[in-house]
Amino acid sequence: MIEAFVLVVVKPGTEEKVYNALAGEKHIKEIYRVYGEYDIILRVEVENIGELDRFHDEILRRISNIEMTETLIASSYRG
Amino acid sequence: MIEAFVLVVVKPGTEEKVYNALAGEKHIKEIYRVYGEYDIILRVEVENIGELDRFHDEILRRISNIEMTETLIASSYRG
Amino acid sequence: MIEAFVLVVVKPGTEEKVYNALAGEKHIKEIYRVYGEYDIILRVEVENIGELDRFHDEILRRISNIEMTETLIASSYRG
Amino acid sequence: MIEAFVLVVVKPGTEEKVYNALAGEKHIKEIYRVYGEYDIILRVEVENIGELDRFHDEILRRISNIEMTETLIASSYRG
Amino acid sequence: MIEAFVLVVVKPGTEEKVYNALAGEKHIKEIYRVYGEYDIILRVEVENIGELDRFHDEILRRISNIEMTETLIASSYRG
Amino acid sequence: MIEAFVLVVVKPGTEEKVYNALAGEKHIKEIYRVYGEYDIILRVEVENIGELDRFHDEILRRISNIEMTETLIASSYRG
Amino acid sequence: MIEAFVLVVVKPGTEEKVYNALAGEKHIKEIYRVYGEYDIILRVEVENIGELDRFHDEILRRISNIEMTETLIASSYRG
Amino acid sequence: MIEAFVLVVVKPGTEEKVYNALAGEKHIKEIYRVYGEYDIILRVEVENIGELDRFHDEILRRISNIEMTETLIASSYRG
């Protein structure tokens, strides 16, 4: 399993709309609306890197007003 | 009360237009047109973080030609 | 309560060391080592913005090899 | 007169120290500690661009732990 | 007189077109097409900061495919 | 001969589409889909800098959904 | 197997030295000295993400003058 | 002949010192002290890319307080 963070920048003024559109999507375990260089942070879990490709190709494409995403793949975790 | 700076990048050539459109808006205490990585700096005062969300969702959405905003929440101030 | 993400860049080659040093710290609820523009992502919970100041001033100062941090304060969350 | 914003990044953990060191300096009209890509925002007033040069060369050099500054010169203002 | 550099990013594939469109414009003393984070560098001379505002508002607005400009005002020069 | 890397950012969700569109193009020796600040990395070989200009002006312009490219010209190589 | 690009920024003036120090290292399949936002590009092959961690922790730590690395994990490749 | 711009970031407070140290160097045709994301802009002329390598390896290494350089190679010019 691959765990990744997706840092999302949206069109100014669409933060809430994109946040709500993303909230129900498969593979998204947590979603935060944040202030700073990015607008939304997703924590995503996928089976493998091919599924991460499809997450971007299929899910992110369907949602309007996302201007940029930057995906950080995690190698270790402690909670 | 939350005090924040919003660093704004606009579509090239629309600096004056966006500056004028923002100038009368609620919650904006000061507005500067600047040169460098950003085009406009706003100093904003809101009651709480929910109001900061609404400032972005409602006010910034209505104004065209804003390409990017980056909001820095202040924790201390000295004048 | 304030929830925030701290995106951390460390001196190249000290990723594991900094990750381990941060792992036990107060206020850090989750810590991820990641690949991309940042090296470590922290999810932090503090009571208020003064405590967020102290988290930076006291905890991050004690830990060597942190080169940059960028803190994103969250306004909403869905898990 | 020239009005400028100086966006400051400091060594992680020295935010309060640098904020206090800057607070009394000449030409600094306002100083904010902030969260995001930058750590401190200064609003500076100088007579001309030569004085802005000296502000950087003399004042900022004396203060430790400043890692980066980015100065944005303002052309218009509304309060 | 104010001397400034304008670092320009254009829509990918329109570099030559924007370069040619800018080449004859008033206030632009030199223009370079470059490779790296930016696509075009302009050296601009204006009488004062109001004229720099108008350069952006009037000239850059008329030219399509400019996605971002970052203007660096010079304080000293040696050739 | 000039060897260069082109770091490409695409419209979110079009990664696969752009990757496939680029894959057959002249001058592109290798193409990688990647995760992080950029979405696709191209290794390009051209005869001279004029041909690099034409690669951008002609080939990249024809392909939709490319939002940004950053070209790094190589001076040395070891395999 | 994981294929990754490591974009490297070095202390100005040490480009050649770091390039030579990296050239013989295990896991580095190709190394380019480049001009632009980054100074060196590495193409790296590792067995899994744990080995990518060790590549950073062990190899990059031993080499002086590396100021920043940004690692992009590849999901697809065409040559 | 290769024409290039070198965008330079220096340690805060050393702008004038680095500017003066660079001013007499071979290959530097023009040098500007600027305000914004970068502190100094150099226009450099070299015979070929090997000489550009040596300019970085030999000249920039000798000068203290340079924190980052980003070199943009020009392909066309109009004055």
Quote the CA–CA distance of F38 and G71 in Å, as a whole number.
10
What DSSP designation does A53 have?
A: H
Check pLDDT > 90 for residue G71. Answer: yes
Beta bridge partner(s), residue E3: E45
Both structure tokens of B65: 């030609």
Residue A25 has, within 13 A of its CA and on its CB side, a CA count of 24
Q: Per-residue pLDDT averaged across D30-51, rounded?
A: 97
On whether residue G37 sits in a domain, the answer given is yes
Quote the CA–CA distance of A76 and C33 in Å, as a whole number.
5
The C-alpha of C21 sits at a distance from chain A's nearest C-alpha, in angstroms, of 12
Q: What is the CATH number of the domain that holds B57?
A: 3.30.70.920
On whether residue H31 sits in a domain, the answer given is yes
How confident is the model at residue E24, as a pLDDT? 84
CA-closest candidate to residue D70, choices D39, D32, D46, D48: D39
Q: Which residues of chain H make contact with F52, given a CB cutoff of 8 A?
A: 75
Write the CB contacts of A13 (distance below 8 Å, at least 6 apart in sequence). B56, B57, B58, B59, B60, B61, B62, B63, B66
On whether residue E79 sits in a domain, the answer given is no
Q: Per-residue pLDDT averaged across E16-44, rounded?
A: 96
CA-closest candidate to residue C31, choices C75, C63, C78: C63
Quote the CA–CA distance of B32 and D73 in Å, as a whole number.
9
Residue-wise pLDDT tens digits, B19-58: 999 998 999 999 999 999 999 999 999 999 999 999 999 9
Residue-by-residue pLDDT tens, chain F, 79 positions: 999 999 999 999 999 999 999 998 999 999 999 999 999 999 999 999 999 999 999 998 899 999 999 999 999 998 8
On whether residue F54 sits in a domain, the answer given is yes
Interface probe with E: pick from D71, D75, D77, most Cβ of E within 10 Å: D75
Both structure tokens of D66: 């400043």
Q: Which residues of chain B make contact with E62, given a CB cutoff of 8 A?
A: 13
Both structure tokens of E54: 């108008």
How confident is the model at residue C79, as a pLDDT? 83
Quote the CA–CA distance of E37 and G35 in Å, as a whole number.
10
Q: Classify the C-alpha dihedral F15-F20-F21-F26 as positive or negative.
A: positive
Residue of chain C minimizing CA distance to B74 = C49
How confident is the model at residue B79, as a pLDDT? 83
How confident is the model at residue E79, as a pLDDT? 84
Q: How many domains does chain D fold into?
A: 1
Residue-wise pLDDT tens digits, G1-21: 999 999 999 999 999 999 999
Question: F8 near F25, Cβ under 8 Å?
Answer: no
Residues of C with CB under 8 A from a CB of A: 3-5, 19, 23, 29-38, 41, 70-79
How confident is the model at residue E11, as a pLDDT? 96
F78 or E56: which leads in pLDDT:
E56
Question: A58 near C1, Cβ under 8 Å?
Answer: no
Mean pLDDT of chain G: 95
Quote the CA–CA distance of B37 and B20 in Å, as a whole number.
20
Query: Across the interface, which of C34, C75, C78 has its CB nearest the CB of A35?
Result: C75
On whether residue H79 sits in a domain, the answer given is no
What is the domain extent for residue B20?
A: 2-36+49-73
Quote the CA–CA distance of B74 and C71 in Å, as a whole number.
12
Three-state helix/strand/coil letters over chain E: CEEEEEEEEECCCCHHHHHHHHHCCCCEEEEEEEECCCCEEEEEEECCHHHHHHHHHHHHHHCCCEEEEEEEEEEEEEC
Quote the CA–CA distance of E41 and E38 in Å, as a whole number.
8
Query: Across the interface, which of G50, G53, G75 has its CB nearest the CB of A49?
Result: G75
Quote the CA–CA distance of H37 and D9 in Å, as a whole number.
12
Q: Per-residue pLDDT averaged across A8-20, rounded?
A: 96
Quote the CA–CA distance of C77 and A19 in Å, as a whole number.
9
Residue of chain G minimizing CA distance to A49 = G75
Residues of C with CB under 8 A from a CB of F: 35-37
The C-alpha of F35 sits at a distance from chain C's nearest C-alpha, in angstroms, of 7
On whether residue B41 sits in a domain, the answer given is no
CA-closest candidate to residue F59, choices F31, F39, F36: F31
How confident is the model at residue F79, as a pLDDT? 83
Interface probe with B: pick from D7, D30, D35, D78, most Cβ of B within 10 Å: D78
On whether residue E76 sits in a domain, the answer given is no
Quote the CA–CA distance of H33 and E74 in Å, as a whole number.
6
Quote the CA–CA distance of F34 and A49 in Å, as a whole number.
10
Bridging pattern class, strands H40-46 and H28-35 = antiparallel
Query: Number of H helices and number of E strands within chain D?
Result: 3, 4
Residue-wise pLDDT tens digits, C34-75: 999 999 999 999 999 999 999 999 998 899 999 999 999 999
Q: What confidence category does residue A66 fall into, taking pLDDT thresholds of 50, 70 and 90?
A: very high
CA-closest candidate to residue B73, choices D10, C52, A31: C52
Check pLDDT > 90 for residue H79. Answer: no
CB pairs under 8 A between D and E: 13
- Neighbouring chains of B at 3+ CB pairs under 8 Å are A, C, D, E, H
Both structure tokens of E52: 């720099």
The C-alpha torsion from A24 through A28 and A31 to A35, rounded to 10°, is -120
Check pLDDT > 90 for residue D24. Answer: no
B26 phi, psi to nearest 5 deg: -60, 150
Q: What is residue D79's three-state secondary structure?
A: coil
Q: Per-residue pLDDT averaged across A8-36, rounded?
A: 96
How confident is the model at residue G24, as a pLDDT? 84
How confident is the model at residue A51, as a pLDDT? 96
Q: Per-residue pLDDT averaged across A40-50, rounded?
A: 97
Q: Per-residue pLDDT averaged across A36-57, rounded?
A: 97
Question: C13 near G56, Cβ under 8 Å?
Answer: yes
Question: D5 near D69, Cβ under 8 Å?
Answer: no
On whether residue A78 sits in a domain, the answer given is no
